[in-house]
Amino acid sequence: MIYSCFDVGGTAIKFGLIDEEGRFHKRGLIPSGDGPSIVTAVRNLVRQQQKEVSLAGIALSTAGIVNTESGTVEHALSIPGYTGTQWKTMLEEEFKLPVSVENDTNCAALGEYWLGAGKDVSSFFSVTVGTSIGGAIIEEGRVLHGATHAAGEIAYMCLPAGRFHDVASASFLCSEIANQKGIPPKEMDGYRAFQLIESDDAQALRCFHIFCQNLADGLTNIISLFNPERIILGGGIMSRESIIRHPLEQALSDRLPKRMLPPKGLAFARLQNDAGLLGALYVLKNSKFSASDRFFPTKKKVKGTKHLGLLFIPYNRFYCIGSL
């Protein structure tokens, strides 16, 4: 079976035809835009794909806070006119295919869980460092979505230096180096920034040190709260593992006692630009489970105890009974 998979971001839309084993049969990339233009582009691509192959479903990874049950983008910070896009309803009505919609950072994490750096662990926290910074909590192949589908929105975390997004994203690193070098910010990207860092440019190294310290502050909060087996770092600049790993591990060791550090350490994403597409497919393949069953325990009345007002609450393999 072949699935149509999309990864919608603020600057580009990645797409692919992928089989159920995660093998790509076709892939591509087109520029992104505002909400309406993204919708038009995705619908046109699916129409074209249906002329080429028989599709088994549509899997969508997207920027923004996503209600996975309704398949709606509830909030999109970086894409104008995108908030409120009802992907699931729209695509199912037109194409008569099963559709899944999930946040892009969550999808990247699930892709790594399925076929990448998270294959050998049961729990991890995934951090994607790019234009902004996002996170995802994975437990036994399930995403913690939170009460309003916003768990993992770590960009808003407040650190000593400022908001996580403002002080530890790739945008921050590039902007800081550009300012120090007197270069227009638009001319500085991650590739050029790391060229300067690798050449031991003093100003770039100073900015990189600040970036690593800020990133370590945020990761310290995450580790302290969730105690994951592993932290997985993704995003374009995280492909520079040989440069980033040591200073980041040192910064974490300076902040946390050894027993609190993730036992499986830091890992760097293996799937790179394919993670979101593969994670989207993973979500679709497992969409037979309701959203409430994916991570949080459901509250069920114990049969025969309705008059007592008892709640039977499964959590992993343990059960608690409490009164209302």
The more confident residue out of 294 and 62 is 62
Per CATH, 2-103+275-288 and 117-268 having the same topology is answered yes
| pLDDT more than 70, % of the chain | 89
β-strands 24-31, 12-19: how paired? antiparallel
Concatenate the DSSP letters of all residues of 131-169 into one string: SSEEEEEEETTEE---TTS-TT-GGG-EETTEEHHHHHS
Say which range, 19-33, 122-136, 157-171, 212-226, has the weakest mean pLDDT. Answer: 122-136
pLDDT tens sequence across 98-108: 999 999 999 99
Dihedral of the alpha carbons of 211, 216, 222, 226, in degrees to the nearest 10: 150
| Helix 241-255 and helix 190-198, axial crossing angle in degrees, nearest 10 | 80
Look at residues 313, 284, 319 and name the one whose alpha carbon lies nearest to residue 100: 284
Say which range, 77-86, 156-165, 251-260, 310-319, has the weakest mean pLDDT. Answer: 310-319
Q: DSSP class of residue 78?
A: S
- Specify the pLDDT at position 141: 86
Domain layout of the chain by residue ranges: 2-103+275-288, 117-268, 294-323
- Specify the pLDDT at position 288: 59
Q: Which amino acid is at 114?
A: W
Q: In this structure, what token pair is assigned to residue 210?
A: 């600040």
pLDDT tens sequence across 184-208: 998 999 999 999 999 999 999 999 9
pTM recorded for the entire structure: 0.82
- Specify the pLDDT at position 22: 97
3-state secondary structure of 76: coil
Architecture of domain 117-268: 2-Layer Sandwich (3.30)
β-strands 2-8, 133-139: how paired? unpaired
Cα(173)–Cα(208) distance, integer angstroms: 7
pLDDT tens sequence across 151-188: 999 999 999 999 999 999 999 999 999 999 999 998 99
Looking at domain 2-103+275-288, its CATH superfamily turns out to be ATPase, nucleotide binding domain (3.30.420.40)
pLDDT tens sequence across 60-90: 999 999 999 999 999 997 799 999 999 999 9
Cα(57)–Cα(192) distance, integer angstroms: 39
